[in-house]
Structure 1
Amino acid sequence: MSSKEEVRGKFVDEFPELVEELKDVLRKYGMPAEAITWFEKNLNYNTPGGKLNRGLSVVDTYAILKNYKSVNDLSKDEYRKVAVLGWCIELLQAYFLVADDMMDKSITRRGQPCWYKVKDVGEIAINDAFMLEAAIYELLKKYFKGQSYYIDLIELFHEVTFQTEMGQLLDLITAPEDKVDLSKFSLAKHSFIVIFKTAYYSFYLPVALAMYMAGITDAKDLKQAQDVLIPLGEYFQIQDDYLDCFGTPEQIGKIGTDIQDNKCSWIINKALELATPEQRKVLDENYGRKDSVMEARCKKIFVDMKLDEHYHEYEEKVATELKAKIAKIDESRGFKGEVLTAFLNKVYKRSK
């Protein structure tokens, strides 16, 4: 197999041409040069700077489904198309993040100022987010309009976008940063938020896109994928919540902020389920405050409750359940359990 750096480099090399094609759409409409330059900066600033895991997963999944030993085995046209699908997810991610950063009043993203914080951008970022989303459908039209599964791709992006926005809505009204009310929290709400806000677009969408392009479109196969990938996506987010509290900055590359930011995380929800009246009072009085002493009081309760042990019990339980589901995958129509195993291996016992 190609090294990770080569695979990533090959994928990244596709993006500049896509930017040019999107600029051509604006030229076709007669947009002035200054607007085209703005759009180009928006695309380049917000889309390619992350880990690109979602986009690369489309390519990796397609290669597995087509029995290729390496992504280098794909024809030039084949690779181009699957990479376009990957970049469409990265555009969706960029759209979500530009909007999310404004809603959360965030300062930095991926080691640089959030887009709305860039000089002269400000609230124009709202429209820029819309344009990032619209770019998805321009690319799908250009590359897939003649394909039998074109409408399936369109509907999948629309559906997953709406699912993600539903998760974001529940998160925003359950856990606003400036108003702490732990009575609104619950493990059931946390589950809905992470499944809809993260699991559908980060785990199911890359695989479903690759499946459509590989010609594996049976509803039973799509359900087989979803039945593993959605709980896997939930597990991934619970892992993130755990690492934010119990991981070291060296491990996770940042200082955890979930407690001070009033996040509706698995940690606080599990704590609320286990808390004595005295512990609940401390959490009500200290959680979600921008104060390191109050944060430390919450962390002490989490340690006293041995939430790390509860997490590891959950991790082993969900991993066992997912492995059992994967073992029962029906591969008669071309879907492969190997796709799901590859995702699980990336997530299981992840430490960063």
Structure 2
Amino acid sequence: MRSPIERANLVSRVEEALSVFLTKQRDRLTRIDAALTPIADSAEMFILGGGKRIRPAFAYWGYRGAGGADDDTTIACVASLELLQASALIHDDLMDDSDTRRGEPSVHRRFANRHSTENWAGPAEEFGAASAILLGDLCMTWSDELFSGAGMPAERISAARDDFDAMRTEVCAGQFLDVLNQVQRDNSIERALKVARYKSAKYTIERPLLMGAALAGGSDRLREIYSAYGLPLGEAFQLRDDVLGVFGDPEQTGKPAGDDLREGKHTFLIASAYQASDQAGRRLLDGSLGDPELSDSGIEALRELITATGALATTEERIDRLADQSAQALRDGKEFIADEAAVVLDDLADAAVRRSL
């Protein structure tokens, strides 16, 4: 955005809206039974304990770009995207068997640890998994409740409903394709890009923008501009995430180094390495990718292969091309976007690719 202060202000307002909503949900849960207190605690810790609030930011400025006026009701409505994001992350960590999220135990690990501490009956891992599934489902339900009940006029919610619903279907479809890739060992670039598009690109940037435009009654032409800007930017955002998943600093990513390699993510980065590798390189990828016990030296060997094949450079080049494509679409459509929003969307694009949001 135009300044760190403005960015922090929007994040603060989103978090306040989420805090108010989660307090209401805590009261609802604990009235059912005090034993549900850990569910409320975990929801608050997970949702309020970190995150860049990227999706609400794009939805809000998509709304402002369509002529929408600033108000707390809109902030609460777009904050619903953080509940959807929480659902996706909780389930994603469970499917990937991830130990941490943002440097803290993942939800299923947290509940499994509680089971062990309390010396309850049955396997701790099964209790942790069941708890994470249910909390993720609850967050998905809550996202709809906050979206619909934030106080926006009914006709505006109705107008944005198609994008909100499509976004939830698309992210689940992309997640399934991601899981399918791992078991099928699909190393095609085409499938890797489709996963990136539906698991992240559309859900992170394009759909929030379109949802914001619909909330403000934006034109079809504006929606076309937002898609031309948001889709390549969303793909660039995911490709940057894929690079960080292999080469990122755990202090910044909040996950162990090389975690994507141990989880066996078949990303564009990995597909590019596979396509460019010789027979020995492919044997290394086949034998190491997806090994949960992969050693630090094994991770380093894969990193060296990815770099040597040119896959890292290819991915960085694609990120740059996509970022340029997005910036050009924004420039071409600038006359249709409210001035302040156009400036902020330009800044958001740069921050999304550099991951400085």
In the alignment, residue 206 of structure 1 is paired with which amino acid?
A: P
| Residue in 1 that maps onto 2:187 | 185
How far has the Cα of 1:197 moved from its partner?
A: 0.6
| Residue in 2 that maps onto 1:9 | 12
How far has the Cα of 1:283 moved from its partner?
A: 2.5
How far has the Cα of 1:239 moved from its partner?
A: 1.3
| Residue in 1 that maps onto 2:223 | 222
Q: Is the 8 A contact 1:286 1:297 kept in 2?
A: no
Per-residue Cα deviation, 1:177-231 (whole angstroms, up to 9, x for no partner):
xxxx64x221111111111111122112332232223331x33322321222112
In the alignment, residue 234 of structure 1 is paired with which amino acid?
A: E
| Residue in 2 that maps onto 1:55 | 56
Q: Given the two structures, how large is their TM-score scaled by the length of structure 1?
A: 0.82
Q: Is the 8 A contact 1:190 1:265 kept in 2?
A: yes
| Residue in 2 that maps onto 1:342 | 347
Return closer, same or farther for 1:127/1:337 CA change in 2, 3 Å cut-off.
same
Q: Is the 8 A contact 2:330 2:346 kept in 1?
A: yes
In the alignment, residue 134 of structure 1 is paired with which amino acid?
A: T
In structure 2, distance between residues paired with 1:341 and 1:248: 26
Matches within 5 A, 1:224-243: 224-243=225-244
| Residue in 1 that maps onto 2:83 | 91
How far has the Cα of 1:65 moved from its partner?
A: 4.7
In structure 1, distance between residues paired with 2:205 and 2:313: 26
Return closer, same or farther for 1:48/1:266 CA change in 2, 3 Å cut-off.
same
Q: Aligned with 1:47: secondary structure?
A: helix
> How many residue pairs end up in the alignment?
334
Return closer, same or farther for 1:137/1:346 CA change in 2, 3 Å cut-off.
same
How far has the Cα of 1:174 moved from its partner?
A: 1.0
In the alignment, residue 129 of structure 1 is paired with which amino acid?
A: G
Deviates more, 1:313-322 or 1:81-90: 313-322
Return closer, same or farther for 1:333/1:230 CA change in 2, 3 Å cut-off.
closer
| Residue in 2 that maps onto 1:296 | 300
How far has the Cα of 1:159 moved from its partner?
A: 1.1
Q: Is the 8 A contact 1:45 1:115 kept in 2?
A: no
Return closer, same or farther for 1:259/1:131 CA change in 2, 3 Å cut-off.
closer
In structure 2, distance between residues paired with 1:188 and 1:131: 33
| Residue in 1 that maps onto 2:280 | 278
In structure 2, distance between residues paired with 1:333 and 1:302: 40
In the alignment, residue 260 of structure 2 is paired with which amino acid?
A: D
Greater relative contact order (CA < 8 Å, ≥ 6 in sequence): 2
In the alignment, residue 12 of structure 2 is paired with which amino acid?
A: G
In the alignment, residue 177 of structure 2 is paired with which amino acid?
A: L
Say whether 1:140 aligns with 2:147.
yes
Return closer, same or farther for 1:35/1:227 CA change in 2, 3 Å cut-off.
farther
| Residue in 1 that maps onto 2:266 | 264
Say whether 1:101 aligns with 2:93.
yes
Say whether 1:40 aligns with 2:40.
yes
Q: Give the aligned CA root-mean-square deviation in angstroms.
A: 3.0
In structure 2, distance between residues paired with 1:287 and 1:39: 34
Per-residue Cα deviation, 1:248-305 (whole angstroms, up to 9, x for no partner):
4456555222222211122211112212233323322333333224333322222322
Matches within 5 A, 1:147-158: 147-158=154-165
Q: Is the 8 A contact 1:64 1:339 kept in 2?
A: no
Q: Given the two structures, how large is their TM-score scaled by the length of structure 2?
A: 0.81
